[in-house]
Amino acid sequence: MEIVNSKEVSDEEMIEQSFQELLNDYLKTKHRKRVEIITKAFNFANQAHKGIKRQSGEPYIMHPLSVAKIVCNEIGLGSTSICSALLHDVVEDTDYTVEDIENIFGPKIAHIVDGLTKISGGIFGDKASAQAENFKKLLLTMSDDIRVILIKVADRLHNMRTLGSLLPNKQFKIAGETLYIYAPLANRLGLNQIKTELENLSFRYEHPEEYQEIEEKLTATAAERDEVFNVFTAPIRIQLDKMGLKYRIVARVKSIYSIWNKMQTKHVPFEEVYDLLAVRVIFDPLNEEEELNDCFDIYVSISKIYKPHPDRLRDWVSHPKANGYQALHVTLMGNNGQWIEVQIRSERMNDVAEQGFAAHWKYKEGGGSEDDGELEKWLRTIKEILDDPQPDAIDFLDTIKLNLFASEIFVFTPKGEIKTMPQNSTALDFAFSLHTDLGSHCIGAKVNHKLVPLSHKLESGDQVEILTSKSQRVQPSWEVFATTAKARAKIAAILKKEQKNFQKEGEAILLDFLSKEEIGPEAASIEKIYKFHNLKSREELLTALGNKSIILGESDKNELKEKQSGNWKKYLMFSFGSGNKDPKEKLETDKEPQEKINPKKVLKLTEETIQKNYMMADCCQPIPGDDVLGYIDENERIIIHKRQCPVAIKLKSSYGNRIIATSWDTHKTLSFLVYIYVKGIDSVGLLNEITQVISQQLNVNIRKLAIETNDGIFEGKIQLYVHDVEDVKQICDNLLKVNNVKLVTRVES
């Protein structure tokens, strides 16, 4: 008699139930009902992954099923993408090949699965040197079929939802990578809900206490917000009913991560984040042609009820964002004295806002859409970035961030043609965006008919005319103020080409000089010359000779004809100096290697280890109580960073395999320097009160204090020595009790 394992039965039931849920969700969509191919893909993947478990202990097939559900429900893709999601790990984790997938499921699904396999294991592999290359691979694949990246984002979302089963150092790596790459990528693709969830999940793992604190405060103030929403929207509903529109009004509460981000950047407490609530008016247009006019009609009608903010009308209806986002944003003054943002959008616009480019496939499974213009523009940007010669992984990621995720500005040509540029673009960037020849010969620009230099930063609405001269050449200094990938790539390429020409000329000059002096072109002779001119390499010397910044003469001859004995003596000193170290010196430098760090364990930061083995990062100056992590640098030193420090975010994304989870184990014996920022209303004796609170009440040592007043407002910075975050909190709380002190917060420097 065969005994059936009840765990296996329950696993089988769980898998079958999950698959049925996926099918039911798919059948509710407007896509063609291709149930057969989805069932075939599920059976194939289920068989391929049979017996394999995830780290959480559940059957592996539950992961592809979950990703397929996200692809179907949250991104809105059809059967091709659902099948690809179900099969996305088959080629990487089993013996099946892409050819097998193609034979069974056809070339389209095979192509997407191949793209997903190439970029598996997150954007970055375990080796730091391969990271930028992997990212390029991801973007190249994406430019073939954008569904690859949409499924990859779904894959990352499910990984983030199940991150709890991983080790802490892995959690930091994945959360950091998510915040640095995937959340902005989801944003750029217009996947607004997914972007928000990725940010919140990353934040929850990196700063669990702050996350919980904000969550509790949001829950506590929910009833109050509901009341504000109901009172604010009641007259709007009456007005919209009069217009005869079919509509719905929904409240949008700022995400926990966005709230925390604002608290950090603006140095304000939760209670002073006033834009927690926004209102969305989503309507069905009377007819498709009137969609745009309806948005403005709604704006005009609600502006009669509440006063609009003159500087806060955002028209994304006439000029959609690069990710396809369309809406009209207006900020109105509510009866409670607070500004409330209202977002006006049609049901179609709302669809695109929530699902972005994925909405293009919503009704047409084979791909393609009515408006591929923005999509094509985005893919062109990616290709330009890939052409940018960035050797270093972090530089490359910064370029990606700079261009792909930048906010946009709208700039006009002299003829009134509109061009979209990344924020912070300069006149030089604009010139290169129009044409390489225009960029390489530009001498200046006229912005709104006023003459400006090439480094002038453009703003939305500027009309820009580029001025050129045939005699103008690309200058090395241009690399400093070019911000777009295209401009930087073109400038680097032109300078490189010029340098090669100079080096060619320089080589002819050098060989001519050496042959006249009857000296052979040995490396040692050439090294003498470039070192004599304080240059670092033969290439630098050749360039300098070619562009005539160096002219060889008598002094070079004398240097080359120096007596051989002098060289011999130098050589002897060098060889003895390097080979026979003083024994004491050997003891100093050849210390015993430190015990090997195990990145899988949580590193305890004690008084002894902090003083002996670890370094506190200068960029963020962490102190006990801060959420921190460790980074093993190239010299095997461990540097402690705050988890939200911009440098740490880059390190998590680019060198995730060197990240160590850390925790404090100190007991108020070590002192750390912190900076406290204070602001308030100036009054007599205020400085004396502040110093009394710090020095006498709290017995804290002040290192430096700088306060200045302007028009009755004072602000200043105080450098103090503290033991931990608790000390900082106590100092801030006590200073806020001082009359006329309105804001106290810890800052980086």
Query: Is 479 known to be catalytic?
Result: no
Catalytic residue among 21, 58, 93, 527: 93
CA torsion 558-559-561-566 (nearest 10°) is 130
The residue from 8, 92, 272, 636 that is catalytic is 92
Q: Which residue has the tokens 């850390």?
A: 662
CB 229 within 8 A of CB 649: no
620's tokens: 């963020």
**Which one-letter amino acid corresponds to residue 487?**
A
CB-neighbour burial class of residue 367 (10 A; exposed 0-12, middle 13-18, buried 19+): middle
DSSP category for residue 165: G
Q: Which residue has the tokens 């969509």?
A: 29
The H or E element that residue 98 is part of is helix 98-105
Pick left, alpha or beta for residue 267 (phi over 0 → left; psi -120 to 50 → alpha; otherwise beta).
Answer: left
What is the crossing angle of helices 192-206 and 256-266, to 10°?
70
Strands 408-412 and 628-632: unpaired
- Residue 679 CB: number of other CB atoms within 10 A? 15
Whether residue 652 contacts residue 632, with contact meaning beta carbons closer than 8 Å, is answered with: no
Cα 588 versus chain centre, distance? 43
Residues 586, 355: Cα–Cα separation, whole Å: 64
Q: Residue 190 and residue 95: Cα distance in Å, rounded? A: 36
Nearest-angstrom CA–CA distance, 358 and 369: 10
* Rounded Cα distance, 32 and 48, in Å: 27
Q: Is 145 a catalytic residue?
A: no
Stretch (H or E) spanning 107: helix 107-118
- 236: Cα separation from own chain's centroid: 38
* Cα distance between residue 284 and residue 128, in whole Å: 50
CA-to-CA dists, residue 582 to 119, 193, 575, 578, angstroms: 52, 65, 14, 10
Identity (one letter) of the amino acid at 705? L
How far apart, in Å, do the first and last CA atoms of the chain sit?
74
Does residue 69 contact residue 155 with C-beta atoms inside 8 Å? Answer: no
Tokens 């059936």: give the residue: 4
Q: Percentages helix, strand, coil for the chain, rounded to the nearest 5?
A: 55, 15, 30
- The per-residue DSSP string of 512-579 comes to HHHHHTT----HHHHHHHHHHTT-SSHHHHHHHHHTTS----HHHHHHHT--HHHHHHHHHHHHHHHH
- Tokens at 39, concatenated: 């069932």
- Among 516, 610, 747, 630, which residue's Cα sits nearest to residue 168? 630
DSSP state of 426: B
Adjacent-strand bridge partners of 710 = 713
Catalytic machinery residues: 92-93
